[in-house]
């Protein structure tokens, strides 16, 4: 019998080793890289975000960047990329729809490798080099950049690109650290070059090129403090000068239209009225514009003049009616808001009273239990009190 046992044991060991080898082989096969088109597309499309997402870098956005998308991409891809960039710049508030056209965040795609798989159906497998730049388009200075390798697989190049874009995580600290660096360098750039830029803007103002001057002055971030304040003063003075120059130009146009033949037999000149409406009300030329308008009204046919005055009175009456309706709606809205606030306050007071009553009842119950335990404790002998755990 011992001999039989000794013979059986090696056989069992061999069987176990064989099973273990098969299991190890299966594990290796399971871990080996395989290509399944549907699974691979899912992996690329639903690639997990960076591990840093749970602790996204937080900072106060002090500059506003304009998103400049690359040209030549399919429309669907452009929409996906735009949404990604909006999300990326919105995390800490460095993006805006009215951002500077000079300070831009620019995403770029470069195709690094393009393979056609041997599967049926064949798939496009494309590797991209995705870069995001923050730059000053006027000076060409790049303030910061970050890069990510992307892999996309799809039935077409467009689908492969879309799958690759889905792997971009706007909250990834990689992008937020880059934006924080860019913001710091932009503020440093304008603090260092602010005086030079303001003088350059004043040069454009001197030759009445207000658009270029505003482009420079509007880009200086508020975070630059004294530089921003000086730029704001220059900008306000330039705007006043612009409106004054523009008003003088409009006055000359009004005089020209007043001397031209009228549009109809009643003496109307619609071009004159259109130009008069464009004169800034706070400009120094407004008084002269009003005098020209009075002269124009006198030249009208008497019947046309009365009709015009009637229309003016009706228009003013309609404006007053609309103003009154707006005031009534405002009062009604304020009244409704006040009633809602009072109702909420009443409900809150009722809730507090209810909670206070419940707390009082619980307190009395606890106190009663304590009295009961104390009474039980006092009835015990000295030895038993040492082991009594009911008393609080």
In the chain, how many domains are there?
Answer: 2
Query: Which pLDDT band holds residue 198 (cuts at 50, 70, 90)?
Result: very high
- Residue 174 burial (C-beta neighbours within 10 Å; 0-12, 13-18, 19+): middle
Q: Which residues pair with 146 in a beta bridge?
A: 132
Domain presence at residue 155: yes
Q: Indicate whether 173 and 222 sit together in one domain.
A: no
Q: Edge-to-edge, what's the strand order for the sheet holding 124-136?
A: 66-67, 103-116, 124-136, 142-154
Q: Indicate whether 63 and 94 sit together in one domain.
A: yes
Instruction: Please give the average per-residue pLDDT across 210-220, as a whole number.
Output: 86
Domain presence at residue 5: no
pLDDT tens-digit map of 89-140:
887 777 665 556 788 889 998 899 999 998 889 999 999 999 999 998 888 8
Per-residue confidence (pLDDT) for residue 151, from 0 to 100: 93
CA 242 vs CA 31, 100, 200, 273, 285: distances in Å: 71, 21, 17, 22, 12
pLDDT tens-digit map of 14-30:
444 444 444 444 444 44
Domain presence at residue 198: yes
List of E strands, 34-180: 66-67, 103-116, 124-136, 142-154
Q: How far apart are CA 338 and CA 335, in angstroms?
A: 5
Q: Indicate whether 47 and 179 sit together in one domain.
A: yes
Name the more confident of 353 and 21.
353
Query: Which pLDDT band holds residue 352 (cuts at 50, 70, 90)?
Result: confident
Q: Indicate whether 195 and 227 sit together in one domain.
A: yes
Final residue of a structural domain among 166, 188, 210: 188
Q: Which tokens sit at 169? A: 């995580």
Q: Indicate whether 170 and 205 sit together in one domain.
A: no
Strand, helix or coil for residue 100? coil
Per-residue confidence (pLDDT) for residue 60, from 0 to 100: 67
CA 294 vs CA 141, 163, 170, 208: distances in Å: 55, 67, 61, 31
Instruction: Please give the average per-residue pLDDT across 2-6, as a whole number.
Output: 44
Sign of CA dihedral 273, 279, 280, 285: negative
Contacts of 383 (CB under 8 A, 6+ apart): none
pLDDT tens-digit map of 150-163:
999 999 989 999 88
Domain presence at residue 252: yes
pLDDT tens-digit map of 277-319:
878 777 777 888 888 888 888 887 777 767 777 777 787 788 8
Strand, helix or coil for residue 109? strand
Q: Residue 201: which of 193, 191, 210, 192 has the closest Cα?
A: 210
Q: Indicate whether 196 and 175 sit together in one domain.
A: no
- By DSSP bridging, strand 142-154 and strand 124-136 are antiparallel
Q: Indicate whether 155 and 51 sit together in one domain.
A: yes
Domain presence at residue 30: no
Strand, helix or coil for residue 247? helix
Q: How far apart are CA 89 and CA 97, in angstroms?
A: 11
Final residue of a structural domain among 281, 298, 315: 298
Structural domain boundaries enclosing 154: 43-188
Per-residue confidence (pLDDT) for residue 8, from 0 to 100: 44
pLDDT tens-digit map of 29-56:
444 333 333 333 323 333 333 333 334 4
Per-residue confidence (pLDDT) for residue 49, from 0 to 100: 37
Q: Indicate whether 252 and 148 sit together in one domain.
A: no
Per-residue confidence (pLDDT) for residue 191, from 0 to 100: 92
Q: How far apart are CA 32 and CA 79, in angstroms?
A: 37
Domain presence at residue 350: no
Q: Indicate whether 52 and 153 sit together in one domain.
A: yes
Is residue 7 scored above 50 in pLDDT?
no
Q: How far apart are CA 73 and CA 79, in angstroms?
A: 10
Domain presence at residue 171: yes
Q: Which residues pair with 66 in a beta bridge?
A: 104
Angle of CA points 169, 104, 68, to nearest 5°: 70
Q: Indicate whether 281 and 231 sit together in one domain.
A: yes
CA 130 vs CA 87, 111, 167, 269: distances in Å: 17, 9, 11, 59
Strand, helix or coil for residue 80? helix
Q: Indicate whether 152 and 47 sit together in one domain.
A: yes
Tokens 């975070």 belong to residue:
223
Is residue 381 scored above 70 in pLDDT?
no
Q: Indicate whether 172 and 199 sit together in one domain.
A: no
Final residue of a structural domain among 241, 269, 298: 298
Query: Which pLDDT band holds residue 230 (cuts at 50, 70, 90)?
Result: very high
pLDDT tens-digit map of 71-97:
888 888 888 888 888 888 887 777 665
Domain presence at residue 102: yes
Contacts of 186 (CB under 8 A, 6+ apart): 63, 103, 134, 136, 143, 221
Give the CATH number of the domain where residue 134 resides: 3.30.160
């Amino acid at each position: 019998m011992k001999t039989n046992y000794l013979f059986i044991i090696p056989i069992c060991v061999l069987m176990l080793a064989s099973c273990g080898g098969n299991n190890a082989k299966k594990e290796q096969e399971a871990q080996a890289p395989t290509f399944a088109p549907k699974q691979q597309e899912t992996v690329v499309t639903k690639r997990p975000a960076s591990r840093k997402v749970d602790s996204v870098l937080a900072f106060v956005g002090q500059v506003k960047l304009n998103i400049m998308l690359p040209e030549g991409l399919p429309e669907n891809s452009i929409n996906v990329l735009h949404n990604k960039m909006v999300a990326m710049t919105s995390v800490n508030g460095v993006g805006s729809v009215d951002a500077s056209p000079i300070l831009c965040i620019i995403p770029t795609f470069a195709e690094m490798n393009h393979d056609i798989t041997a599967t049926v159906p064949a798939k496009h497998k494309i590797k991209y080099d995705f870069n995001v730049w923050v730059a000053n388009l006027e000076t060409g200075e790049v303030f910061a950049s970050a890069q990510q390798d992307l892999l996309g697989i799809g039935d077409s190049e467009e689908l492969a690109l879309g799958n690759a874009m889905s792997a971009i995580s706007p909250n990834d600290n990689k992008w937020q650290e880059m934006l924080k660096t860019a913001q710091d360098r932009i503020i440093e750039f304008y603090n260092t070059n602010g005086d030079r830029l303001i003088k350059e803007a004043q040069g454009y103002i001197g030759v009445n090129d207000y658009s270029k001057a505003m482009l420079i002055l509007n880009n200086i971030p508020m975070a630059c403090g004294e530089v921003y304040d000086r730029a704001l003063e220059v900008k306000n003075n330039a705007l006043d000068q612009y409106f004054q120059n523009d008003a003088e130009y409009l006055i000359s146009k009004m005089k020209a239209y007043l001397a031209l033949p009228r549009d109809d037999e009643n003496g109307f000149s619609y071009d004159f009225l259109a130009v008069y409406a464009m004169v800034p009300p706070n400009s120094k030329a407004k008084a002269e514009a009003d005098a020209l308008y009075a002269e124009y009204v006198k030249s009208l046919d008497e019947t046309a003049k009365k009709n015009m005055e009637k229309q003016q009175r009706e228009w003013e009456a309609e404006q007053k009616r609309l103003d009154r309706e707006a005031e009534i709606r405002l009062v009604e809205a304020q009244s409704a808001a006040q009633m809602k606030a009072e109702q909420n306050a009443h409900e809150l007071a009722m809730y507090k009273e209810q909670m206070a009553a419940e707390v009082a009842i619980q307190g009395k119950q606890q106190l009663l239990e304590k009295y009961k335990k104390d009474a039980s404790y006092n009835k015990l002998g000295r030895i038993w009190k040492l082991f009594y755990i009911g008393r609080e």
